[in-house]
Amino acid sequence: MITIIHKIKDWSYLLAICCVGASCSLDIPYENQFSDPDAVTTPAAARELLASAYSELPTPEFNLSVLGDDFEPTYLIARNSSLSNLYKWQPQPLEDISLSMWQEYYATVAIANAVLERIDNVSITSDKERQEIRCIVSEAKLLKAYCYFNLLRLFAPAYADGPEKDGIILKDEFKLGFLKRSSIGECVTAIRNLLTEAVEVENNPAQEYWLSQYSGYYLLAELELYAGNYEQAEEYAQKVIDIKGGYDVLTTAGYSKLFGNEVCDERIFSVYTSGSYYTDMNYDRDKGDFFTLNTSLVRLYSEGDIRYDETVYWFAMSGETVGEITSSPYLGKYNKMNWEKKETRYINKFRVAGACFILAEAYCRDGKAHDVQAVKVMNEYLARRGATLLDENLSGEVLLKTVLTEKWKEYAGEGERYFDLKRCRKEILSDWNVSGSMDGRRIQKDDYRWTFPIPRGEYLYNENVSQNEGWTKIEN
């Protein structure tokens, strides 16, 4: 790692995390004190350093949704060329967001490594402090695993394209290093090892913005699904559902709380924010947003589906013609909060519904004998969302595509669809771009841009780093 380590050596760029309420345990001030390797000598200092790692986590949900099929552009998109070009998958905006995500994920990894390297310097005076240190170590490993997994999904080909292909750089020390990219298979093994070590620690904090033991089980379920180990994915996903209280945690009130400022039992992990979020979608309160929801998606919701109420935000905006007023299906969720001038506090990352989809998809892919179980999982979930239940006779590819469609309805505007499209674009979702709304951005299933480019600053001074196929490696 080159560019990230130079950035990390100056700790003054770290920002304070400001939470609501005086009792919030993330309300920690920061100073330029962690450049000294001997500065972390107490559990409180270790927690402060770890909190700065959380603060570096990127929130790419909007950009990934733009690249997926969640949105359709409005006439206003002509006034934002960079966003228009991102929607069209032009190389330059992809390079721009790649650089941002690469730096932010690896910044988190670097700080997590600093925590792990300095933890032996901490003086422990009680059993309570010993347990706190164990939790801090567990969370640092979870943060690394989470960042590695997302980097792998973004900057490497899909696992099905070959686990021997180049993955990402595995950085395990807080110092300068000239490392090559490990293979996808090696990355999966490294992530799995981090997670299995982390979940050995019983750590279930009350706040949703700290990673927990069941966050680790969630990531293990997602990782094993990604790697095609379906039985293991089923085991971990079911464990998450059981730990969180079963399907009954999926309540109508809980779903609305996901996109508000209240604690929600359905959340497993969320990033805390004290600033604005999802504002890149907004143009003008009278004229509207740069995007509406994909009308093909809007039509999929059945009457009574509570996901529709939170996802689809009908709002009257000025049309392209003077005096014209149109009511269009804009994104609700965080975007609705912006228009209604409500502050966002939680950016959802893991929730129980996600474990349901991992479990159902794993059953679908684990052979037709498990299709009945997949339908049962989906109907348990759909019943609590007020949605139409699946036909119990569904099976095979039809069932799998139905599961992914229901997931699309659950996660619209949250970036998840992009990852599903990348994983499944050569098989079950190969028809993803045939809608008329996609005419301006025909991205074929074998297009090189599905794999993000390695940033120039990473390979320019490190000849061991390869560039992804199709992207130009600039040598100077």
Non-local CB neighbours of 176 within 8 Å, separated by 6+ positions? 1, 2, 5
List the beta strands (DSSP E) in 296-452.
Answer: 312-318, 325-331, 346-351
DSSP 13: G
DSSP 429: T
SS3 245: coil
The model's confidence at residue 108, banded by pLDDT at 50, 70 and 90, is very high
On the question of pLDDT at 8 being above 70, the answer is no
DSSP H/E element including 252: helix 252-257
Which pLDDT score is estimated for 341? 87
Q: Of 232, 228, 221, nearest to 358 (Cα)? A: 221
Who has greater pLDDT, 405 or 473? 405
Who has greater pLDDT, 146 or 10? 146
d(CA 265, CA 249): 7
Sequential DSSP letters for 388-419: PPPPTT--HHHHHHHHHHHHHHHHTTSSHHHH
Mean pLDDT score, 59-68 = 96
Who has greater pLDDT, 319 or 18? 319
* Residue 95 · residue 85 · CB < 8 Å: no
Paired with 347 in beta bridges are 271
- 315-359 confidence digits (pLDDT tens): 887 777 766 777 899 999 999 998 888 888 999 999 999 999 999
* Residue 246 · residue 257 · CB < 8 Å: no
- 185-202 confidence digits (pLDDT tens): 999 999 999 999 999 999
CA dihedral 107, 110, 114, 116 (to 10 degrees): 120
Distances (CA, A) of 340 to 143, 315, 332, 336, 337: 33, 11, 10, 6, 5
Mean pLDDT score, 417-445 = 82
Q: Which of 130-134, 177-181, 400-404 has the least mean pLDDT?
A: 177-181
The CATH number assigned to the domain with range 3-274+347-445 reads 1.25.40.390
Which pLDDT score is estimated for 315? 85
DSSP H/E element including 43: helix 43-55
Paired with 317 in beta bridges are 326
SS3 275: coil
Which pLDDT score is estimated for 28? 33
The rounded mean pLDDT for the chain is: 88
Rg (CA), the chain: 22
On the question of pLDDT at 179 being above 90, the answer is no
Mean pLDDT score, 127-147 = 97
> Beta-carbon neighbour count of residue 440 at 10 Å?
12
On the question of pLDDT at 387 being above 60, the answer is yes
Q: Within 13 Å of residue 37, how many CA atoms lie on the same side as its CB?
A: 7
Who has greater pLDDT, 100 or 21? 100
**pLDDT over 90 percentage in the chain:** 75
- Answering whether pTM is above 0.85, one says yes
- 280-304 confidence digits (pLDDT tens): 999 988 888 999 999 999 999 999 9
Q: Which of 156-165, 175-184, 417-426, 450-459 has the least mean pLDDT?
A: 175-184
Which pLDDT score is estimated for 206? 86
d(CA 349, CA 332): 17
